[in-house]
Amino acid sequence: MDKLNKFVATLLAVLMALNSWGIGVIQAKEDAERSLTGPDLKIDGVSAVLMEPSSGEIIFSKNPDRKLPPASVTKLMVMLLTLEALDKGQVKLTDVVSASPEACRMGGSQIWLEPGEEMTVADLLKAVCIVSANDASYALAEHLAGSEANFIALMNKRAAELGLKNTHFVNTTGLEPDAVGEGNLTSAADMAILAREVIKYPLVFKWTGVWIDSLRDGKSFLRNTNKLVRFYRGCDGLKTGYTDKAGYCLVATAKRDGVRMIAVVMKSSTGDTRSRDITTMLNYGFSQYKAFQVCQAGDKVGKVKVFRGKKTTVDAVTPRELTAILKRDQTGEVIKTVKLNRMASAPVKKGQVVGKVELTYAGKPCGQMELVAAEEVGRAGFFELWGQFIQQAIRAVVGIVNN
């Protein structure tokens, strides 16, 4: 009997030890998976990131590098490539796009394009930004690259250029593929970086910040899929997403009192928890940062030489207010570094980019802005150039005499 009792006691001790070890392993695994930086915010989503975009600083993150399907958040890359093409003059907002049968076969959220229906790039981009239209996204891809396959290659190329290490695209919509195979994959950290790039083009807010709009002369009603545009003060973008596999995703941005934040949540359980997750992060971000004015709109910060212009120089000015984004407890000097183009060739347009100004605090970036020409400078004729040469020669001679 004593031997039996001793055996039972030993067995129980071993089982308890194994159980304890197993729990410890499970807990350690959960802790490792729940990679958290910053404050311990209550976030429902599997993955999340809060970024201050002027510096790129990550204020909060939860599993930021976890690879997850992005659903329609995919369209941030479609938006970026379209905005970049517009900026380079490769396409125009007024370009007319004829919808292909392939574009019209897209499921999910759509504006019900008909084969052959014509719509401008501006209206297609509006549909992508506001209602996440899959058919509009596909049509834009075909217009910009000739085919969806070509555009997907551009998407992945741009992702690599931006250092999006956990991102790979297989389509332009974020829909899960019908056939066997992996769909689009990305991470919250990558989407924050992508969003930071998108908001460099203020044109995007013309659509992402709108709650209600329309197409087809008012016949097609559009309501933003991002409820925070209506219900969160300062929210003006950017992109929602949902599929069964991806869950509820949202990349949002908001600006308050000169401070902008980017918040990303992926695989939240419902649309409401997705919005709560973003609200929690944005509220925290705005509580931690402040905007410090460095320049007013129109401030002159230098002169750029003009080659063959009616004037030999043009003033470089700030196109809008320039602020440094600092933590609320930071005090000290903000360093302003002006980088001007060596020369601008006439004709120079008013508002043409002629340089940039960068702000740093304690060696870290805290703001930047492109500098633009304050006025138009026309191209000089032969006699005007000759007159400028004579004036420069006279000034040189006077300088030698005075010295």
Active-site residue numbers?
Answer: 72, 75, 132
Spell out the residues 6+ positions from residue 141 whose beta carbon is closer than 8 angstroms to its own.
78, 147, 148, 151, 152, 172
Question: Among residues 67, 65, 72, which one has the least CA distance to residue 240?
Answer: 72
Angle of helix 148-161 versus helix 134-145 axis, rounded to 10: 90
How far apart, in whole angstroms, are the C-alpha atoms of residue 86 and residue 67? 31
AA identity, residue 156: N
Residue 205 CB burial class (10 angstroms; 0-12, 13-18, ≥19): middle
How far apart, in whole angstroms, are the C-alpha atoms of residue 59 and residue 49? 8
Residue 223 CB burial class (10 angstroms; 0-12, 13-18, ≥19): middle
Sign of CA dihedral 229, 234, 236, 238: negative
AA identity, residue 299: D
Beta bridge partners of 307: 345
- The DSSP result for 45-80, as a single string, is SSEEEEEETTTTEEEEEESTT--B--GGGGHHHHHH
How far apart, in whole angstroms, are the C-alpha atoms of residue 323 and residue 325? 6
